[in-house]
Amino acid sequence: MDESKTALTLLLFPLLLSVVVISALEMKEFTSGVGFLQRARQNDFYEWMVGMRRTIHENPELGYEEFETSKLIRRELDGLGIPYKFPVAVTGVVGIVGTGKPPFIALRADMDALAMQEKVEWEHKSKNHGKMHACGHDGHVSMLLGAARILQEHHDELKGTVLLLFQPAEEGRGGAKKMIEAGVVDEVEAICGFHLEAEAPLGVVRTRSGPIMAGSGFFDAMITGKGGHAAIPQHTIDPILAASNVIVSLQHLVSREADPLDSQVVTVAKFQGGGAFNVIPDFVTIGGSFRAFSKQSLSQLRQRIEEVIVKQASVQRCIASVSFENDKYIFFPATINSEKLHQHFSEVAGEMIGSQNVQSRQPVMGSEDFAFYSQVVPLAYYYFLGMKVNSSAPAQPAHSPYYTINEQVLPYGAALHASLAFSYLKKLESISTTTEETITVHDEF
């Protein structure tokens, strides 16, 4: 009898072993980036994200006014059983998935729209006149909620905590700075964020380590002279002439004072003065922005912009005053990507979408308030997610009234978010376990 049992066991053992191995492989696949992407592509999941994105798109709200967007986020988190903190930075929401204990990794999505009229004619066009989601933030929110759903389905496997940062006021209002001031990233050791990219193919990610987006500042100046009739300019002090000379001189800051290998930009984008063709005005206002990749270069540009405006105006007998920050616009630092997280991202994204679809991206002179997180969180990472389908039609860039989102990109963003956080915590767990085993072996000796 014992011999027959032994024979049967030996006969069945290879079959049982294969079942265990297959089950383990299936579990690994399900908790991998590929598995997360498959989950996000399932019809019910995909339609859920699309529905949220369209609802948010129909109801765009400007910075610190995202009350309905915030309400939708909280409703969905409640439905997923995810606790959260609210309000944070006026309208912000911070979801909490996992143990609630260290280590902490954060995922960020911005919520605000732009003050512009949508010109895309479709069923879900903006219902709020003069407001539009023309930068993809409606998609960002939907994808982070998608990541929240995936992570919540695996919350028992998380050996740490993922914070879901739904941030207000990215568009020049410094919402990230207010989130930081509220203490939401005090214990966070890593943070990731991304932006949709209309020019890159669907499912392709583009990024790099080091500087990826420039820091920026804004300036306003008033140049005051003495107005009078255009027929007798000798009795006036012409501020328009002075402002024109100022603008030309400002362009020399980059062409003749900046290192050609240190990318910088100075742009005058506002010129206002006078209201009649035959009257020289008393004053002119100009304004613009300046950009660079280092704190030192930004500081140098700020100093020189003020000097050039004031002194060049005085050459034309005018008086000038310059201001740099106000309640609406603040200085943004450069966005710097962690080398350590770049390696982690490349591995995770490469496994999910193929290494050929993880591409290098040149730094851009645009700014992002995600940069504030990179100044206070030890490891920060920002990347771009492509959504263009092969077409002869040119992609409409962000901040265009004709900007559209290819909703096929939503599963990619949700899965990447979830996989980056999940695998990061898994890797820390593995390192911690290995360290503990090493210490135990050492103690035995």
Binding-site residue ranges for Mn(2+) = 135, 137, 171, 195, 399
Q: Which residues are annotated as a binding site?
A: 135, 137, 171, 195, 399
Backbone angles phi, psi at 53, to 5 degrees: -60, -45
Tokens of 27: 């579990």
Count of helix runs (H) and strand runs (E) in the chain: 11, 16
Round to whole Å and give the CA distance between 240 and 247: 11
Q: Which long-range contacts (CB under 8 A, 24 or more apart) does 387-393 make?
A: 387/196, 387/197, 387/198, 387/200, 387/202, 388/197, 388/198, 388/199, 388/200, 388/201, 388/202, 389/201, 389/202, 390/201
Neighbours of 192 (CB within 10 A): 26
124: DSSP letter: T
* The one-letter amino acid at 331: F
Round to whole Å and give the CA distance between 133 and 328: 19
- 294 with 265: CB under 8 angstroms? no
**In sequence order, what are the beta bridge partners of 348?**
none
413: DSSP letter: H
Tokens of 116: 């512009």
* The one-letter amino acid at 219: F
